Each structure stands twice: as structure tokens, then as C-alpha cells.
A and B are shown apart, each in its own frame.
Chain A
Amino acid sequence: MSDFLVEMRDVRIEGRSDETWMPIINGVDLTLKKGEVLGLIGESGAGKSTLGLAAMGFCRDGVRISGGSVMFDGIDLLAASAEQKRQLLGKRIAYVAQSAAASFNPAHKLIDQHTEAPVQHGIAGKAESAADGVELYRKLRLPNPDEIGFRYPHQVSGGQLQRAMTAMAMACRPDLIIFDEPTTALDVTTQIEVLASIRQIVEEFDTAAIYITHDLAVVAQMADRIKVLLKGDEVEEADTRTMLSEPTQEYTKSLWAVRAFERPEKPPVASDATPVISVQGITAAYGTVDVLSDVSFDIHAGRTVAVVGESGSGKSTTARCITGLLPPRIGTIELDGEPLPLDYRKRSKEQLRQVQMIYQMADTALNPRKSIGEIIGRPVEFYMGLRGGAKRKRVAELMDQIELPADQYIDRLPSELSGGQKQRIGIARALAAEPKFIICDEVTSALDQLVAEGILKLLARLQDELGLSYMFITHDLATVRAIADEVVVMKDGVVVEQGPKRDMFKPPHHAYTDLLLSSVPEMDPDWLTNLLKERGVDNIGDAAVGKMS
């Protein structure tokens, strides 16, 4: 009998693509003792989730384990029948998915989904299991634990759902839980509550866990050991503290270094300078509900203003107002001191040209049926009136600026590019109009850290060369630190604080800014413990709100 709960040896996993099997995992070992937490990190496509699911003996459709062995507590999961595996799943091995909102069945109440595994596995009766569920909700500091289970998933917020899912995974008191990016979709302030809940419950029941994430600072808080994956291969594995302080591999070091990119703040502009964009007291509504009220800020030539806040704080709505897609109810927007018509349909072509936008999801923002040359060529023709050879030459210049050689890429379709390359095409398309001002809406949120850093550096270089002004919408404070000159902090449609970057990262600041700043996970493995102590240990669930009240 081995002393490992999970023992995976030389595991090889393949995925079907166009009738052939392509390797996803190329012979990785993974071991886990009882009560131990292993962090699995890597970029998207590294095979983290696939490996995590394989530890449950589970493969998604179109994926197969082609070699190696997966043992769970002495049971060979690869040899076990579907029925034997079904007996283990939910009961001894549980799973917590990335998006709780999508992973809870919309048709059933939370408590019914919670009690399903214990009842179906014959561990507990429905009433007994429901009572235990309420107890777990209480432990995880969900609001109204007695009542929340009777709600449907859509009636509960994302962070609460994620905690309810952790409770659901605990329903049968499993020996192992796979956490698959459980906080990736959450705001930083919500993330803390979920992280604290997960850590508390894993410690209390001495459950072993595999914690999958791409966020190093998060894994540092959660894991005893960290394993780094790259394109289906293991890069290295070590204790969390060793891994953080002395990574041995180049790739790991480069991952660690990403957070170090920081651009020096530019000197303040002259007080009488005319801002490129001036937003003055705008209030905007969807239907009859005001979602922005009295928002004002200026963006000067060659400067970057970062607009930060949680989801729903009004960041993207502000961008829609500036572009004229959502005319504000009250207030004005000026371009170079001249008022802009509020509705984009009333703006001149010249005014439209000056304000461009880059989107979060390059995937959906590029027409999948058009080649790169056509995508960039369209605004070149529309705004600059270039055609034929002149247009082709200009497109090539633009592609040069975004560091994608025109001769290789100009005829490709967006689907033939990587995520980072697609985002570069989005940048080139915005540049094609030769604007003064570009709105960047969460342009790096969907990208891996290394790729995101490349995009940030490119944007910084273009700003220096072309004197562009950026409005940078983000919820990620590391991005703010990297690129901003000034920061606008928003909450519930209101600007709660604004000023130069150096002031933002230095106290004293507004309570909400403080909460945002202190909620960003740091690489220090003791960060979460210390933070919770600071905010009051007895108050995990309300930790984030604690500071606000």
C-alpha cells in the first residue's frame, strides 16, 4: 500500500483534432498525500484542467488517457469500470468548477443540488444532508445560511455561488477535491472571501486538494507544493516557499518576473494644457436606472488614465458614453476642448476617427471571415481614403508597428492566430484611423501573463512613438501599476477617488481604494493569513465588506 492518496505515473493524455490524436499531456507524474494541497499552474493550454480531471479518472469528450497509471487510494482508475468510478465521484473525489454560475443547474435550488450526491450515493437522507448543507453554508459565512439554499442559482451572486459550490463539494466529506480555477472569474474583493473559505474548509476537514490556477499569487496562498506545467510537460515542482524564493527553471523565473514590469510615471502636464478628452459630469442610464452619476475626468496628450473598479462599477459604461454608443443623460464630453456630439451618429467622420477602441475579447471583436489584411485595411480606406498600393503599404506599416511581419500574416484569418496576436490585430485596427485617443477595455484580461506583458509593452512603445492618449479600463491593479499615469477608481457608477498613480499606491486613500489594493494577492505565501488577521479572523465572509462599513 503506498502512502499516496493520488499517484499518477507517466500520464499521457491526447485530444482529438481533425480525426487525429494530438498530445495534451506528455508523461507527467503527480502525487498527493492525504490532506495535502498541490497547486497546478501554467498558462492556458498547458493542460492543467485536463490533468486535474484525469486525477478523477475523468476525460472530457474527445479526450483520452493514452498511457501511464492513475491510482486513487489503491484503486486503479484507468482499469476501473464506469460504475466503479461513478461510486467514487462526488463521494470520495469532488470537483469545484471555474464558473459556479454555469456549473450549478439553473433548474434546481441550491440545497437540492447540494443534497443530491449524499442522497444518490446513499450516504445520508435528504433532511440530514440539507441540515449539514446549512451548517456548511454557515461555516463558509454565506449570508442567510438557513435560507440561501432555497434560492435558484441565478438569484445568488457569483462569489456566493462559488462558496456554495465548495460546500457542495464537501457534502460527502470527500478525501480529495479538485479546484479548477475557482476564483478566476471573480473580482479581487470577492476572490478573498472565496479563497479564505476554501482554505478554511480544506484545513478543517483535512481534505487533500489539487488547486488549478494561472495566478501565482493565488496558488502561493493555497498550496503546500506547486507544480508548473508548460504545454503538457512538467517544468518543475517544489514546496511553495522554495518555489517562490528560488525557482530553478528559466520558464518559472519568467513567470515570476512578469509582475515586475512597471513604467515610470510621466511628469504632470502644465495646469493650463487642454486635455485630449474631457469627461464632464456625465450621468447615464440603461432604461430608467442610472448606472453612472456625475463622472468627470480629463485625459491629456500622451498620458494613460486607468479606470479601475469591480464588475458593475460603470467602467465600460463610461467608455460607451465617450464613444457615443450610449449618449449620457446629463453632462458633456470634449475632444481637444471642443464639445463632442453625445450620439455617435451625429459626430463627423473626423471626430469618429480620433476616438478608437480596443476590446477585451479579440476573438469576438474580429470578423472571423475576413483576412488580417482586410480587417486592418477597412479603417485605412474608410478614414484615410487610401486604396490599392497605398492601402497595402499602410497596412504593412501598421503590421510592422504591432510586430507581426506583414508578408507572413496579412492573408491569414483571425482563427489562425494566437490570443496575443489577435489582440495585436485589434491594436493595429485602432491605429489605422490614426487617432489621438484609444480606449482599451480590459485588453489584457483574457490573456496569459507573459502575453499580456507583451501587449502592455507594445502599447507603451506606441504611446511614446505616436503620442497617443489611453483610457485603460481594467480590474487588475498590477496592470494599473504597469502602465498608468493617472488612476480613476469607480464604484457603483461613481468616481470614488482619482489622481496620479504614485498617490494611489500610497496611503492615505479612500476606503474602497484601500480595499481594492489590499485585496490583490501578493506572492508572499503568508499574505492571506496576515490579511485576514488584519481584517479580523472571525469575519472571513465579511472580510471584504468589513473595511467598507
Chain B
Amino acid sequence: MNPVIKIILQRLALGLLTLFIVSIVIFTAVNMLPGDFAEAILGQGATPEAVAAIRRDLGLDQDPVTRYLQWLAGALQGDLGNSFAQANFASFVGDDSGVRTSVAQQIAPRFANTMFLAGVTAAIAVPFAVTLGVLAALYRNSVFDKVANVSTLTSISSPEFFLAYVLILFLAVLNPLLPSLSNIYADMGFGERLQKTLLPALTLTLVVTAHMMRMTRAAIINLLASPYIEMARLKGIKPMRVIVHHALPNALAPIINVIALNLAYLITGVVVVEVVFVYPGIGQLFVDSVKIRDIPVVQACCLIFAAAYILLNLTADILSILSNPRLRHPK
């Protein structure tokens, strides 16, 4: 078998194994949360009978292993269960209409929004950060390099909400170029949606650029002492071409990995920015669900986050492997 395909299949299997282990961790962790849905929704005045009835209704009275296996079996078939919060407790009063909102229905639009925001941010941030890193490596130790380093470090060190408010101040209040509220709807056109998403995307760009730019710069500079870079310079190749054509292709592996980590962050860690801009992403849904112990939603969100992390890192691994000509072209 082609060694590259073999490695990819191995990584894929490892990724699935990781996801399985993570599902156990998620289930255990969520079940260790103090209090449960029945207590959270009924409040302090709940009678023990009412709590017990809701628990029975939701299957919370079964032992954890059974519940985990049921959840896992459902998840494997694409059924993430029904949201507690949206459930109709009619059965409790003897009138079950049978209408329930599935977790998938609830999460799908939110997840699409999150992916849209992450996609717009990545489309801006990745080319920007890599270009900045290449230029910083080319003009290393110059004023440009220092300004680029200091400003990206400043932006990564500032709290996200602060960056968001600064951008709102300059781009929405003082110069009303962009809307400060990003309340997007399902039937919105692409152009309008993009416009509304731009401010949160710019905020996130400021957050993720530093890491990717500095890794690009460091990975390239690390190679500049190699004999083949010296050879390129002694062939009279222009400095920019030495960096882009000779150093960058050999520096891809670490850069790809850092990009993947940052993209994963864009999917899983942007709740603060969502709150500031009232952006209906998955992060807000997740936090709300934790608050009311809507366990099926929390578990599904965690599983999606884990899958995103694993998938992105897997992709990064595979791309790094592919960037190595020794593996692409075996002897």
C-alpha cells in the first residue's frame, strides 16, 4: 500500500478512537455537574414527587452506564436525543402530544452560523498571518518586524471583549461602516450576512493572528541557517524568493499545525465574541444549556467541539505529512 494512504488510515482510526474516549469523558463530566435538569427547572419550591416524575420522564433515573450506552447508540445513528428544555412535559399531566425538538434540529442552524463566522475569520486571518510572518522573516529584526510582533502580541494579550468594543467604537460608532449587532437569520442573503459577520470576524482575526504569524516567522527563520538556504543565496536568488520558494515549503508542517489549532479555537472558543455581538452561534447555545442542565444539548455540543478539534488536527497531521517530499515520493 502507498505509505501515505497507510498513514492517513492509521490517523483516521486513531481519531475515531480518540473521539470514543472523549465521549466517555464528556458523559462522565456532564453527569458530575451538581444538580440536574429537574431541580434546575422546577426551582426551589419543587416537590420531591414532581422532581421524580420529570426524572422518570427523561430517563434520568436509570443508571449512568445504561444511559451512556443508549446515548452512544443514538449518537452512532445520528440521533443526539431530544432537548430537555424544549420538551413538552404534557405526559406529566397526562396529555402527551408527542411533539419534541430534537437536539440536532436545535443545534444545526447555530452550528452553521458558527462555521460561517469561523470560515470568514479564517479566510481573512490565515492569509494575513502567513503573509505577515513571511514578511517579518524577510525583514527580520527590522522596524517592520518589531512593529508586527508588538502589535500582534498586544492584540492577543488583550481580552476579546475589549478588542470587540474597540472595533465597535471605531468601525460602528465613530465611523458607521459596519453594523455593531450581528443578529443574522436563516433566510438572510449572503452579502448581508457577510456584512453583519465582519466585525466579529475582524475581532477574532486580531485574536488568532499573533500565534500563526509568530510560528510562520519562527519556522522560516529556523531554516535560514540550513545549507540549502545558503546555497540559494549563493545562486543569487532574490531574498523574497529565498524565503517563499526555498524556506516556506520546508517550514509548512509547524505552520499548518498552528493554523489548525487556531481554527479549532474559532469553532469552540468564541462565546465571548458571540455574546458581545449577539451572534447566534453554538457557543451561546452551549452556555445556556449548561445553565439549565439541558444535558443532551451540552453533550452534543461537547461532542461536536471534540470532533472539530480531532478532525482539524487530523487534517493538519495529514497535510504536514503530505508537505514532506520524502513521503510523497518514496525512493
Asked if A116 and B228 make an inter-chain contact with CB atoms under 8 angstroms apart, the answer reads no
Asked if A95 and B234 make an inter-chain contact with CB atoms under 8 angstroms apart, the answer reads yes
Flag B244-267 by CB within 8 Å of A: 1 or 0 each. 011001100000000000000000
Given contacts A86-B236, A107-B250, A116-B235, contact A60 B230 (CB under 8 A): yes
A99 close to B (CB within 8 Å): yes
A58 close to B (CB within 8 Å): yes
Q: Which of B187-245 contact A (CB under 8 A)?
A: 225-228, 230-238, 241, 245
Asked if A116 and B237 make an inter-chain contact with CB atoms under 8 angstroms apart, the answer reads yes
- Nearest Cβ distance between residue B295 and chain A, in whole angstroms? 50
Asked if A91 and B236 make an inter-chain contact with CB atoms under 8 angstroms apart, the answer reads yes
- Nearest Cβ distance between residue B110 and chain A, in whole angstroms? 42
Asked if A86 and B326 make an inter-chain contact with CB atoms under 8 angstroms apart, the answer reads no
A25 close to B (CB within 8 Å): no
Asked if A154 and B326 make an inter-chain contact with CB atoms under 8 angstroms apart, the answer reads yes
Asked if A120 and B237 make an inter-chain contact with CB atoms under 8 angstroms apart, the answer reads yes
> Which A residues lie within 8 Å of B230 (CB)?
60, 97, 103
Q: Which of A93-152 contact B (CB under 8 A)?
A: 94-95, 97, 99, 102-108, 116-117, 120-121, 151-152
Asked if B228 and A104 make an inter-chain contact with CB atoms under 8 angstroms apart, the answer reads yes
CA distance A154 to B326 in the complex (A): 7
Q: Which of A20-75 contact B (CB under 8 A)?
A: 56, 58, 60-61
> Which B residues lie within 8 Å of A152 (CB)?
325-326, 329
Asked if B235 and A89 make an inter-chain contact with CB atoms under 8 angstroms apart, the answer reads yes
Asked if A105 and B238 make an inter-chain contact with CB atoms under 8 angstroms apart, the answer reads no
- Nearest Cβ distance between residue B256 and chain A, in whole angstroms? 14
A155 close to B (CB within 8 Å): yes
> Which A residues lie within 8 Å of B238 (CB)?
86, 120
Please give the number of chain A residues whose Cβ is less than 8 angstroms from any Cβ of chain B in the complex.
30
> Which A residues lie within 8 Å of B234 (CB)?
56, 58, 89-90, 94-95
> Which A residues lie within 8 Å of B250 (CB)?
105-107
Taking a contact as CB atoms closer than 8 A, the residue among B231, B236, B245, B329 that contacts A87 in the complex is B236
A88 close to B (CB within 8 Å): yes
Given contacts A116-B235, A121-B236, A152-B329, contact A102 B226 (CB under 8 A): yes
Residue of A nearest to B323 (CB): A107
> Which B residues lie within 8 Å of A90 (CB)?
234-237
Asked if B227 and A88 make an inter-chain contact with CB atoms under 8 angstroms apart, the answer reads no
> Which A residues lie within 8 Å of B235 (CB)?
89-90, 94-95, 116-117, 120, 168
CA distance A312 to B53 in the complex (A): 77
> Which A residues lie within 8 Å of B228 (CB)?
102-106
Most chain B beta-carbon contacts within 10 A, residue among A58, A87, A120: A120
Asked if B236 and A89 make an inter-chain contact with CB atoms under 8 angstroms apart, the answer reads yes
B6 close to A (CB within 8 Å): no
Given contacts A121-B236, A155-B329, contact A61 B227 (CB under 8 A): no
> Which B residues lie within 8 Å of A94 (CB)?
234-235
Given contacts A86-B238, A117-B237, A120-B238, contact A105 B329 (CB under 8 A): no
> Which B residues lie within 8 Å of A151 (CB)?
329
CA distance A117 to B246 in the complex (A): 13
CA distance A107 to B328 in the complex (A): 10
CA distance A154 to B228 in the complex (A): 13
- Nearest Cβ distance between residue A129 and chain B, in whole angstroms? 13
- Nearest Cβ distance between residue B222 and chain A, in whole angstroms? 13
CA distance A108 to B227 in the complex (A): 15
Flag B305-331 by CB within 8 Å of A: 1 or 0 each. 000000000000000000001100101
> Which B residues lie within 8 Å of A97 (CB)?
227, 230-231
Residue of A nearest to B248 (CB): A107
CA distance A366 to B43 in the complex (A): 71
> Which B residues lie within 8 Å of A168 (CB)?
235
Taking a contact as CB atoms closer than 8 A, the residue among A61, A107, A121 that contacts B249 in the complex is A107
Most chain A beta-carbon contacts within 10 A, residue among B232, B236, B246: B236
CA distance A121 to B236 in the complex (A): 8
Most chain A beta-carbon contacts within 10 A, residue among B227, B228, B238, B325: B228
CA distance A95 to B249 in the complex (A): 23
Asked if A155 and B331 make an inter-chain contact with CB atoms under 8 angstroms apart, the answer reads yes
CA distance A127 to B225 in the complex (A): 31
CA distance A140 to B127 in the complex (A): 44
Taking a contact as CB atoms closer than 8 A, the residue among A102, A104, A107, A120 that contacts B236 in the complex is A120
CA distance A168 to B249 in the complex (A): 21
- Nearest Cβ distance between residue A52 and chain B, in whole angstroms? 11
Asked if A103 and B231 make an inter-chain contact with CB atoms under 8 angstroms apart, the answer reads yes
> Which B residues lie within 8 Å of A116 (CB)?
232, 235, 237
> Which B residues lie within 8 Å of A103 (CB)?
227-228, 230-231
- Nearest Cβ distance between residue A142 and chain B, in whole angstroms? 17
CA distance A108 to B226 in the complex (A): 15
Most chain A beta-carbon contacts within 10 A, residue among B227, B246, B250, B331: B227
> Which A residues lie within 8 Å of B227 (CB)?
97, 99, 102-103
Given contacts A88-B236, A117-B237, A154-B331, contact A104 B326 (CB under 8 A): no
> Which B residues lie within 8 Å of A154 (CB)?
325-326, 329, 331
Asked if B231 and A95 make an inter-chain contact with CB atoms under 8 angstroms apart, the answer reads yes
Residue of B nearest to A56 (CB): B234
Residue of A nearest to B331 (CB): A155
Flag B108-125 by CB within 8 Å of A: 1 or 0 each. 000000000000000000
- Nearest Cβ distance between residue A113 and chain B, in whole angstroms? 9
> Which B residues lie within 8 Å of A99 (CB)?
227
Most chain B beta-carbon contacts within 10 A, residue among A89, A105, A168: A105
> Which B residues lie within 8 Å of A108 (CB)?
245, 249
> Which A residues lie within 8 Å of B225 (CB)?
61
Residue of A nearest to B237 (CB): A120
Taking a contact as CB atoms closer than 8 A, the residue among B231, B241, B326 that contacts A120 in the complex is B241
Residue of B nearest to A53 (CB): B234
Most chain A beta-carbon contacts within 10 A, residue among B241, B249, B325, B326: B325
> Which B residues lie within 8 Å of A87 (CB)?
236
> Which B residues lie within 8 Å of A121 (CB)?
236
- Nearest Cβ distance between residue A41 and chain B, in whole angstroms? 22
Residue of A nearest to B325 (CB): A152
> Which B residues lie within 8 Å of A102 (CB)?
226-228
CA distance A488 to B238 in the complex (A): 52
- Nearest Cβ distance between residue B113 and chain A, in whole angstroms? 39
CA distance A397 to B236 in the complex (A): 56
Q: Which of A436-481 contact B (CB under 8 A)?
A: none
20 cross-chain CB contacts under 8 A: A86-B236, A89-B235, A97-B227, A102-B227, A103-B227, A103-B228, A105-B228, A105-B250, A106-B326, A108-B249, A116-B232, A116-B235, A117-B236, A117-B237, A120-B236, A120-B238, A151-B329, A152-B326, A154-B325, A155-B331
Given A88-B236, A103-B227, 13 other A-B residues pairs in contact with their CB atoms under 8 A: A86-B238, A89-B233, A89-B234, A90-B235, A90-B237, A95-B231, A95-B234, A97-B231, A102-B226, A105-B249, A120-B237, A154-B326, A155-B331
Chain B residues proximal to chain A, CB less than 8 Å: 225-228, 230-238, 241, 245-246, 249-250, 325-326, 329, 331
The 4 lowest CB-CB distance pairs between A and B, nearest first, are A90-B236, A89-B236, A90-B235, A107-B249
